[in-house]
Structure 1
């Protein structure tokens, strides 16, 4: 039998189509009857928001490749033109399913709970009077209609903004009768307005801003008649381009680029289903789009705008129960976090464990006279978070504060630039990492004088230093004062802020230098063990898996008999279950209340397990174009807990997990009649949360 070619394109799944499969799983949660109703609405909004970003980044990237003839063909061998066509087919189906979920499932269920989105035709006289007053007071003063004529050419419409094409009849004060106008809905206006109790008639009743503008559109064009009002939205290329080899200051260059993000090339046009063909054709011509880029929808053109509605209502019965985060036992009733870390390494598992210990470490460091220096990487933090306030306090107290801020964190560039300015003003040292390499590592180091020596306290994690997402994303972290870990981190920071050759680290592995090699060695060890009749086993949990060489290493391990369980939340380019290649590999995806964000890697190692966590997924960009860190859990007690809580429950999940099929589709696990329902996240809430 001829050996199987592991370079064959048939062994790899297209990454764009795999990402759309993840969005399909999110949409499936909106239809899950076991979930609270308002959470289902939230999943619908998340699916819409995810698709927005998909068009802004992935679709725009494909279009750019075609336009510039710089086509990049991935391991799956699918050229951009073919990918774009399949993406369009999938997205049109997915969008149709979104609006079916809204109109046929969620809105009727909301009405049963006395929550209504009231259509114009159903407004009572009293409601119409109130809405008319709202329009006059709140909408009319901030809306600027633009008639289209030679003096008023078609305006530049902001990315993802709500707009209306108006079909007009009559002449204006200057005798103009072009027949068309555009009305832009300012972002300051809420997209759903709650009717006050005195006119609602009971329950929660909302009207969409689009309905309000439609109802009183004539008031925007005095003396003229509005024959048609059609909402539309344009999605644009939102990637920023900065040539880092030809600039002196990346933050300064990004400031200039940010202003243009809202006006990139159009990649998608959404219109209401009542929009006539001549209007949609007119809009497509203005944005240089074709039919494959047009999405006609039965409802508001931006479902992600439903998210604020959830926060407007006090209906805890329709939401997840409140999460009471716990403190890790070594920190219970301990005021001095430095003494706690001296006693033992501390592991954190958010959001089940509180993020407060990380904030507490910084706050105590800022106020402790024995602390000399603080160094931290910042990817996504929020410019006004408790973490930032602690860093500012430390800098103002005279500590040597060094912040490695990644200003290129997509869609957080403006926040990170503001954060850099704030830390600069406080006296901190701010650097922007390494040219052409995003600093994605999550690490913090505190240097403290203790007697006649200096001790380093470190925090390493898989997630961002963001106090809000720490309640929504699952991430693991390690707090330690291990001397070698501290020394390794010192050299990593030195590499980031200064110049010089990469130093050989003792316990950490870093990208772009040793991370890929280390993972390859670990997989090869399991392969050799299996070939020699020993047990070979790998469990890896990550967000994305696309790196071709890593996938080929896993295929070789599978062929040798290594049992491989992969837990991959989003994109997965590996095809499991192929005879002679990957029959020993299973891939599952977990979706639920929290966004699975942990990267945990387990290797059996002939009965002496090695357990690591990392900021890195198994993607080419993480291995070669980012600064990443892989760190070990050496304490046996902690490593056993990481396996017990960070990996095992997800392999046992039988209701909130999906299994990847060889063809790239996913099948949701369902418990058998004799099985108890097992949700990994629910299990961890019971076992770890307060």
Structure 2
């Protein structure tokens, strides 16, 4: 790397100082897949990690690869921070993605299926079906599949059908003629999305083992002739196409954001093709035929050794009651102050309360809103919703409050990717209950996690707030690590009120007392705090930065961290996913360490810690260090002012910094490595320790 470590004026814009964000995201998926190989993880959870790596890769192609393809057509000479053009990025992505997919099928076929078989969980191939199994599957095909499968013979009257995004399909080759004397030699069969992809064989009817399964694709392959009476099927091969699933809403031409999003959603399943997966046994002529039909080049083709939709194997987990092969259940704890005081408002008045999910329960957040809905002294409730889930108790409480005559305002982000339809339905449901629903600010996603309750107490009005790093989603709060803060601090409450006023009304930016907010003050505020640490280090004062986020991409913040490292600031970064910052570069980033923790729970919290010469500051936020979070979203970053709560967060972070079991270290070349433990070194697993400390 052409960096002069003695030159204080090193150009921090040099491409070699940046890791490509999309290759970094593929590295994250490699770490997820590594959990499927990890023998210390329960077996069915390992299968789940395989499925997650596959669904992550689907989204990667639907969104990231699709956007690069678009950029290649719009501006082929555009240069990313790492110095590559869109076409160069696509070429590199192709190589790494092919390696990842090949590894996924090795994990399935050579590791997980044999190990599952040892536990009497078997996937029975067609050649292995017994007579009893074949008889039962024949009946299953005739009764459950035959009536709903609709093959399309390809000829001038039946053009190649429009294939649904990520659906299971078959290209079929035929000989002979049908009743009308037709045969083009080919047909396409689309499997309805509602069909299960794995079917459990009933032991009592098939004399099978207790946990024997058959792939839907195997059943269709076996009985495909039944769909073409009087003709001969000479070949049947699975394929699946992935489409561009991001959508564009012209912010300058929107009259009604709800209608605009609804219009785009209708087209999501039929966006441009970006990837084609085909059974590896498919003959070359049919591979070429499909590539031509989808207008895809060879570098977008993936020949796979098994089902083309591995993520649907998650169905197996739901069908099996094998607790010994899954993570041990746990009961999240309730903070002592909430367990003792059933009046949540009284508890908050005594002290700020910090929740750390999933180790601590999300139920106090739901209870906060339930009590607000029932409390006659509560006048107003304001809430942001980004992702919340179907039949949410949060939504039920908001509806109850509105029906009780309280003023309830909900800011719903309609463009929360892949939750758009659910949020449209949610908006309608809330509006029917007389909730005032708004969609935030056109051009800016509302990603902030805020709830404000205005309560009359004697002659005064008091604001109670909940601020979080994660969504108001009870289910994801069980599997994502996040922090939430309850407070009735006057200045903090006024800040939250002002941010809601921005989202629901019109007016100039108002100065906030304690919150940093994007797109106005968050980016500048973080830059200033990083620069302050640099100045402390230069002056020989205590200087240290700890940041825990999902992603680090934004160039100005990366450069600020580089300058801080050059000044001698010790920088510890805990980054779950993408990291474009390159650590360990002499003269630039040798004081920066980047680690990622992959465990039972998805790391999702965003925490910023600045030593500040002994006057330490701790912030929590909904925002990652990405351009979109800084400039194209409404985010909040809130201080943890209680010394007790700040110390608790630092304790948690130190566990992650001591983790030697689930941690991966980012190398200067962009790869990640797990470092071997020293002999006799005590195992430290941060998530497990937090479970032990906080579990009820």
Aligned to 1:21, the other structure's residue is in SS state helix
SS where residue 660 of structure 2 aligns? coil
Q: 1:299 aligns with which of 294, 306, 313?
A: 306
Q: 1:504 aligns with which of 508, 511, 534?
A: 511
Corresponding residue for residue 166 of structure 1: 172
**In 2: Cα distance, 1:331 partner to 1:616 partner:** 28
* 2:525 alignment partner in structure 1: 518
**Which residue does 2:49 correspond to in 1?**
43
Counterpart-to-counterpart distance in 2, 1:473 and 1:561: 34
Q: For structure 1, which runs of at least 5 residues remain unmatched after alignment?
A: none
Residue number in structure 2 paired with 1:417: 424
Tell me if structure 2 keeps the 8 A contact 1:382–1:419: no
Aligned ranges 1:507-546 → 2 under 5 Å: 507-546=514-553
**How much has 1:671 moved relative to structure 2?**
2.2
The residue number in structure 2 matching 1:445 is: 452
| Alpha-carbon distance, 1:223 to partner | 1.2
Matching residue of 2:255: 248
Partners of 1:200 and 1:215 in 2: CA distance: 20
- Greater alpha carbon shift after TM alignment, 200-209 vs 35-44: 200-209
Aligned equivalent of 1:573: 580
TM-superposed CA distance for 1:306, in Å, is 0.7
Distance 2:531 2:182 in 1: 75
CA deviations on 1:190-243 (whole Å, 9 max, x unpaired) are: 000000021143231000000000000011111111111100000000011110
- Pair 1:83 & 2:89 matched: yes
Distance 1:386 1:671 in 2: 44
Deviations 1:67-120 (A, max 9, x none): 223664321111110000000000001100000011111100000000000000
Asked whether 1:59 is paired with 2:65, we answer yes
What is the DSSP-based 3-state SS (H/G/I as helix, E as strand, rest coil) of the residue aligned with 2:314? Answer: helix
TM-score, normalised relative to structure 2: 0.98
Match of 1:322 in 2: 329
Find the aligned partners of 2:76 and 2:103 in 1 and give their Cα distance. 34
Residues 510-569 of structure 1: per-residue CA shift (max 9 Å, x gap):
001100111111111110110001121000000000010001000110011000000000
Residue 207 of structure 1 corresponds to 214
Alpha-carbon separation, structure 2, partners of 1:577 and 1:69: 33
Change (3 A) 1:183 1:257: same
8 Å Cα contact 2:333/2:695 also seen in 1: yes
Mapped contact 1:383–1:418 kept (Cα < 8 A): no
Contact 2:76 2:87 in 1 (8 A): no
> In structure 1, what is the Cα distance between the partners aligned to 2:414 and 2:455?
29
Out of 89, 104, 112, the position equivalent to 2:110 is 104
* Residue 393 (structure 1) aligned with residue 400 (structure 2): yes
- Between 296-305 and 381-390, report the one with greater CA deviation: 381-390
Determine the C-alpha separation between the residues in 2 that align with 1:476 and 1:377: 16
List gaps (5 residues or longer) in structure 2: 1-5
Which structure 2 residues correspond to residues 169-188 of structure 1 after superposition, within 5 A? 169-188=175-194
CA drift of 1:324 comes to 1.0
The answer for the alignment partner of 2:414 in structure 1 is 407
Cα distance in structure 2, aligned partners of 1:21 and 1:391 = 41
Query: Shift of the alpha carbon at 1:333?
Result: 3.5
Return the offset for 1:57. 0.4
Deviation, 1:504, is: 0.6
Does the C-alpha gap of structure 1 residues 33 and 18 become closer, same or farther in structure 2, counting only changes over 3 Å? same
- Secondary structure at 1:606's aligned position in 2? helix
Q: Give the stretch that moved more between structures: 138-147 or 230-239.
A: 138-147
Indicate whether 1:129 and 2:135 are aligned. Answer: yes
**Shift of residue 677 of structure 1?**
1.4
1:153 aligned residue: 159
1:283 counterpart (277, 290, 297): 290
Q: Distance in 1 between matches of 2:152 and 2:682?
A: 60
Select which of 683, 687, 691 maps to 1:681: 687
Separation in structure 2 between the aligned mates of residue 200 and residue 80 of structure 1, nearest angstrom: 55
Q: Is the 8 A contact 1:383 1:416 kept in 2?
A: no
CA distance in 2, matches of 1:462, 1:599: 6
Query: Which residue among 434, 438, 443 is the counterpart of 1:436?
Result: 443
Q: Given the alignment of the two structures, is residue 588 of structure 1 paired with residue 570 of structure 2, yes or no? A: no
1:470 maps to 2:492 = no
Note if 1:17 corresponds to 2:23: yes
Q: CA deviation at 1:341?
A: 0.8
Per-residue CA deviation, residues 572-621 of structure 1 (Å, 9 max, x unaligned), is: 00000010000000000111111000001111011121000000001111
Which stretch of the first structure deviates more once superposed, 563-572 or 673-682?
673-682
Task: For residue 334 of structure 1, report the CA deviation from its aligned partner.
Answer: 2.5
Which residue of 1 is the match for residue 146 of structure 2?
140
Query: Counterparts of 2:402 and 2:52 in 1: how far apart (Å)?
Result: 38
Deviations, residues 134-176 of structure 1 (Å, cap 9, x unaligned): 1111111111111111000000000000000111111111110
- Contact 2:517–2:636 (8 Å) recurs in 1: yes
User: Matches of 1:360 and 1:333 in 2, distance apart?
Assistant: 14
In 1, Cα distance between equivalents of 2:79 and 2:265: 29
Aligned 8 A contact 2:133 2:208 in 1: no
**Which residue does 1:656 correspond to in 2?**
662
SS at match of 1:141: coil
Partner of 2:433: 426
Contact 1:65/1:71 (8 A) holds in 2:
no
Maintained 8 Å contact 2:518/2:636: yes
Secondary structure of the corresponding residue to residue 258 of structure 2: helix
Q: What CA distance in whole angstroms lies between the structure 2 residues aligned with 1:449 and 1:70? A: 59
Quick one: distance in 2 between partners of 1:269 and 1:290? Answer: 10
Map 1:249-398; keep pairs closer than 5 Å: 249-398=256-405
| Aligned counterparts of 1:227 and 1:249: Cα–Cα separation in 2 | 52
Q: Any conservation in 2 of the 1:656–1:669 contact (CA below 8 Å)?
A: no
Q: CA–CA distance in 1 between the matches of 2:514 and 2:365?
A: 22
Moved more, 566-575 or 668-677: 668-677
Per-residue CA deviation, residues 398-453 of structure 1 (Å, 9 max, x unaligned), is 11110010000000000000000001110011111111110000000001111111
- Structure 1: how far apart are the matches of 2:315 and 2:394? 26
Cα contact 2:516–2:636 (8 A) shared by 1: yes
Kindly tell me the number of residue pairs found equivalent between the two proteins.
689
Distance 1:278 1:323 in 2: 53
- TM-score normalised over the length of structure 1: 0.99
- Check conservation: 2:202, 2:208, Cα contact below 8 A: no
Aligned equivalents of 2:183 and 2:356: distance in 1? 64
- Equivalent in the alignment of 2:617: 610
